[in-house]
Amino acid sequence: MSSFSRTGLWGAADAYERYMGRWSRGVAPLFLDWLGAPPGRAWADIGCGTGELSLGIARRCAPGRLVGIDPSRAFLDRAASRVPGAEFREGDAALLDLPDAGFDYAVSGLVLNFLPDKAAGLAEMARVVRPGGTVALYVWDYAGHMQIMRRFFDAARLVDPASSAYDDGINAPICRPEPLREAFRAAGLAAPETTALDIPAAFAGFDDYWEPFLGGTGSAPKYCASLDESTRDRIRDMLRERLPTGPDGEILLAVRAWGVRGTVPG
Ligand SMILES: C[S@@+](CC[C@H](N)C(=O)[O-])C[C@H]1O[C@@H](n2cnc3c(N)ncnc32)[C@H](O)[C@@H]1O
């Protein structure tokens, strides 16, 4: 399972939930509202993970069929328990075990930048969608207003310049509007469009923000796990000083994903 062998990047479903699932959950409905799909359509959710986007599809779009694909057995088991009626299968975005033109929508939430061969992943999404159907996805705005990670890496860089090796704001240039539209054009998708999907992220206090970085799941937590205790503590203290904190200790950050959609030509 190619890219998934970036061992343990996605680790445990619970750690993912605390670090990212709770924010991913807020973005999926905005994305689906933007798509405005009619009921009864066939959906493929590529890189479905623990099922945030699949759950949104099941609740908001009354799908006729919903298939989720992910390389992680643990994530698929979690997704299946949350979205009864959907099919969840092990697979790789670069080589989908799905028929040509079998779906109205192929979608993906927060996955594209993790694929080693993004063009192959998009080509596969386009292949499994019927002419006139939609390929659409979203990714975090790592370089801009995904402030949970942006704030972390901006502070980490001041303590440890080597942190940039893990910074998706640097490593994932695809996660900006023009590169996303260009990747869709290159995959042969017509009329690619992008939109900003914005939600607020409220943390009850510093520990609520910081603790998920210690869970080992995702790029920044992986980086944290690679550090000695004193470097990690210096980054934590730097962040504590710099994060915008209200009088009651609450920390309020912006969270942006970029959505992109295109049509499979007839
Ligand atoms: C950030 S998670 C997003 C999960 C879910 N879509 C969501 O929005 O919460 C990224 C997902 O991509 C999956 N993934 C990684 N490499 C993949 C590949 N080659 N093919 C399909 N999925 C992959 C991971 O297993 C993980 O579930």
107-154 per-position pLDDT tens digit: 999 999 999 999 999 999 999 999 999 999 999 999 999 999 999 999
Task: Tell which residue, 212, 172, 209, 236, has the closest CA to residue 12.
Answer: 212
What does the block give as tokens for 15? 């750690």
Q: Which of 16, 113, 114 to mutate to test the pocket of ligand 1 (most atoms within 8 A of CB)?
A: 114
- Dump strand ranges (E) for 49-205: 65-70, 87-90, 103-109, 129-140, 190-203
Pocket of ligand 1 (CB under 6 A): 2-4, 10, 20-21, 24, 46-49, 52-53, 70-72, 75, 92-94, 109-111, 114-115
CATH numbers and ranges of domains, the chain: 2-263 (3.40.50.150)
Strands 103-109 and 87-90, by their bridges, are: unpaired
Cα–Cα distance, 168 to 6 (Å, whole number): 14
- Tally the residues of the chain: 266
Q: Which helix (H) or strand (E) holds 43?
A: strand 42-46
Cα separations in angstroms, 93 against 105, 120, 212: 15, 8, 27
How many secondary structure helices (H) and strands (E) does the chain include? 11, 7
Query: Using one digit for the tens of pLDDT, what is the confidence trace for 141-179?
Result: 999 999 999 999 999 999 999 999 999 999 999 999 999
What does the block give as tokens for 148? 């949970």
The residue type of 100 is: D
Using 50, 70 and 90 to split pLDDT, how confident is the model at 194?
very high
